[in-house]
Amino acid sequence: MDFELTDEQKMLQEAVTRLVADTYGFQQREHALKTSDGWSRQAYAGLADMGLLGMPFAEEDGGFGGGGVEMMIVMEALGRGLMVEPYFATVVLAGGVLRYGASAEQRAGILPGLIAGEHILALAHSERGMPRHTLDARTTATRDGEGWKIDGRKIAVIHGASADTLVVSAQTGEGPGLFLVNTAAEGVAVEKARGYDGVPVADITFSSVAVPAAALIGDAGQSGAILARTFEVATAALVAEAVGAMSETFDVTVEYLKTRRQFGVAIGSFQALQHRAVDMLMELELSRSMAVLAALSLDIDADQRTRNISAAKAQIGKSGRLIGQEAVQMHGAIGITAEYKVGHAFKRLTAIDALLGDRDYHLARLVELRGVYPAAA
User: Would you list the DSSP string of 198-213?
Assistant: S-EEEEEEEEEEEE-G
Residue 130: pLDDT over 90: no
Q: Phi/psi at 4 (nearest 5 deg)?
A: -75, 140
Alpha-carbon torsion (274, 277, 279, 284), positive or negative: negative
- The CATH number given to 224-376 is 1.20.140.10
Write out the residue limits of the CATH 2.40.110.10 domain(s) in the chain.
123-220
Question: What pLDDT does residue 377 have?
Answer: 53
Contact 148, 142 (CB under 8 A): yes
Question: What pLDDT does residue 1 have?
Answer: 52
Question: What pLDDT does residue 15 have?
Answer: 97
Chain centre to alpha carbon of residue 186? 29
141 beta partners: 150
Q: Phi/psi at 166 (nearest 5 deg)?
A: -110, 140
- Residues 202 and 162: their CA atoms lie apart, in Å, by 9
- Residues 5 and 11: their CA atoms lie apart, in Å, by 9
CATH number among 3.40.47.10, 3.30.70.980, 2.40.110.10, 1.10.1660.10, domain 123-220:
2.40.110.10
Instruction: State which H helix or E strand residue 310 sits in.
Output: helix 302-331
| pLDDT tens column, 2-16 | 578 999 999 999 999
| pLDDT tens column, 67-93 | 999 999 999 999 999 999 999 999 999
182 beta partners: 165
Write out the residue limits of the CATH 1.10.540.10 domain(s) in the chain.
7-118
- Residues 268 and 275: their CA atoms lie apart, in Å, by 10
- Average pLDDT over the chain reads 95
Global pTM value: 0.96
Write out the residue limits of the CATH 1.20.140.10 domain(s) in the chain.
224-376
Comparing C-alpha atoms, which of 113, 364, 89, 116 is closest to residue 241? 89
| pLDDT tens column, 97-129 | 999 999 999 999 999 999 999 999 999 999 999
Indicate the class that CATH gives domain 7-118: mainly alpha
What residues have CB less than 8 Å from 302, skipping those under 6 apart? none
Neighbour-count burial of 3, counting CB atoms closer than 10 A to its CB (0-12 exposed, 13-18 middle, 19+ buried)? exposed
